[in-house]
């Protein structure tokens, strides 16, 4: 399946700013970086990884003269998996201050590990870009071809390796390996996360609750732990790009639900791998949840690709009225309902009475590409 992400990096390279690229493992950060560097013909390029002991020693030394002498000959400096270098932020600050004309790119699988090393030193000196599993808008296929592959997107997701693999059994193996060896590998290194079984149990609870408000207390009772532990594990899952938290929208109307959250998985394939369910859509009872997860993440990825600063919410009242997705974009409210099949909805009277918004849009399998590309 043909897709490209070079332009995503190109348009985020800005003079006097370090580009920091976050994202989960195996989402294509390294490949995208390599392909971008291949386009920099005639420039002096330094490219390395954070595991390189010499690079780690250089930056962790905080020796300004050594760091600047290292950087001086290069037009482009790219360090993959930069979260493995403890003092990376301080060293890169020295370079960008001395040589503002240089292009510096750092990538990292972990948003919080890398951000801890750069946030303070690089305040006002960096832009952040997040690479997600491949969006529909990035795939170079016709609408007809995309629609023919829709069931695969819902079941197996859109990690680059999944998109370039035809065999379904191999897709399952890739996703299961992705979970056991990559997505949770970084998480379990953390001192605060000690139990693989508990982590998977909590993740499974979230996988079964897509589209519903999550109760930490209920999950704690299910997995037999305390609420604080559940909150801590969920927070780490969020920072590791496994799940995305969405809060309730409210302008303080008395009967609105605003304190609870919903969670979506960044990738449908990962969600299905967590619960070991790869059956065809005709054999499933969770197609509505898969569809809502897919549509939410595609809208979120599209917003990110377009460098928008949209806010995403859901809306519900204690009387049972609800809207799946609320997008707050440039001061406008865009309500969206996710329905797998064509149909109508009962418009929520409290929403219509309380908010000025665009008409509620129903996204189904017949019209979804108009909204996602």
Spans of all domains in the chain: 6-130, 137-372
Which CATH number is 137-372 given? Answer: 1.10.10.10
Q: Are 293 and 366 in contact (CB under 8 A)?
A: no
Residue 298 burial class via C-beta count within 10 angstroms: exposed 0-12, middle 13-18, buried 19 and up: buried
CATH class of 6-130: alpha beta
Question: CA–CA separation, 14 vs 12, rounded Å?
Answer: 6
Q: What is the largest CA-CA distance in the chain?
A: 67
- Is the pTM value of this prediction over 0.75? yes
Q: Kindly give the pairing relationship between strand 76-80 and strand 45-49.
A: parallel
In 3D space, the residue among 212, 211, 369, 213 whose CA is nearest the CA of residue 299 turns out to be 369
Which backbone phi and psi does 234 adopt, to 5 degrees?
A: -65, -40
Q: Are 361 and 334 in contact (CB under 8 A)?
A: yes
Cα distance between residue 41 and residue 253, in whole Å: 58
Tell me how far apart the alpha carbons of residues 131 and 247 are, in angstroms, rounded to a whole number.
22
Beta-bridge mates of residue 20 = 106, 128
Q: Tens-digit pLDDT profile for the chain (373 aa)?
A: 767 677 778 888 888 999 999 888 889 898 889 989 999 999 999 999 999 999 999 999 999 999 999 999 999 999 998 988 989 999 999 999 999 999 999 998 766 666 667 777 888 888 888 899 999 999 999 999 999 999 999 999 999 999 999 999 999 999 999 988 766 666 766 656 777 889 899 999 999 999 899 999 999 999 999 999 999 899 888 888 899 999 999 887 776 677 789 999 999 999 999 999 999 999 999 999 999 999 999 999 999 988 888 999 999 998 889 999 999 999 999 999 999 998 888 889 999 999 999 999 999 999 999 999 8
Look-up: residue for tokens 């995305």? 244
């Amino acid at each position: 399946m043909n897709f490209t992400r070079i332009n995503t990096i190109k348009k985020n390279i800005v003079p006097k700013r370090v580009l920091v690229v976050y994202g989960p493992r195996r989402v294509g950060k390294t490949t995208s970086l390599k392909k971008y560097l291949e386009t920099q013909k005639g420039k002096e390029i330094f490219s390395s990884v954070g595991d390189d002991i010499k690079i780690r020693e250089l930056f962790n030394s905080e020796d300004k003269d050594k760091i600047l002498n290292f950087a001086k000959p290069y037009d482009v400096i790219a360090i993959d998996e930069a979260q493995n270098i403890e003092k990376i932020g301080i060293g890169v600050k020295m370079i960008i201050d001395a040589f503002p004309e240089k292009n510096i790119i750092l990538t990292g699988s972990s948003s919080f590990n890398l951000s801890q090393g750069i946030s303070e030193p690089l305040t006002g000196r960096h832009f952040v870009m997040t690479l997600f599993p491949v969006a529909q808008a990035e795939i170079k296929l016709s609408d007809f071809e995309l629609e023919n592959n829709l069931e695969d997107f819902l079941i197996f997701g859109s990690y680059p390796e999944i998109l370039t693999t035809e065999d379904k059994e191999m897709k399952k193996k890739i996703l299961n390996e992705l979970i056991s060896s990559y997505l949770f590998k970084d998480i379990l290194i953390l001192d605060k996360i000690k139990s693989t079984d508990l982590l998977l149990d909590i993740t499974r609870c979230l996988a079964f609750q897509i589209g519903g408000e999550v109760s930490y207390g209920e999950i704690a009772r299910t997995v037999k732990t305390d609420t604080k532990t559940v909150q801590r594990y969920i927070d780490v899952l969020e920072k590791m790009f496994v799940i995305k938290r969405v809060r309730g929208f409210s302008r303080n109307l008395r009967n609105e639900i605003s304190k609870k959250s919903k969670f979506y998985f960044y990738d449908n394939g990962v969600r299905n791998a967590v619960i070991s369910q790869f059956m065809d859509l005709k054999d499933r009872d969770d197609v509505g949840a898969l569809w809502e997860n897919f549509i939410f993440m595609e809208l979120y990825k599209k917003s990110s690709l377009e460098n928008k600063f949209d806010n995403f919410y859901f809306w519900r009242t204690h009387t049972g009225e609800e809207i799946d997705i609320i997008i707050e974009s440039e001061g406008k409210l865009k309500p969206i309902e996710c329905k797998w099949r064509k149909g109508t909805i009962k418009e929520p009277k409290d929403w219509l009475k309380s908010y000025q918004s665009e008409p509620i849009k129903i996204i189904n399998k017949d019209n979804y590409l108009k909204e996602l590309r």
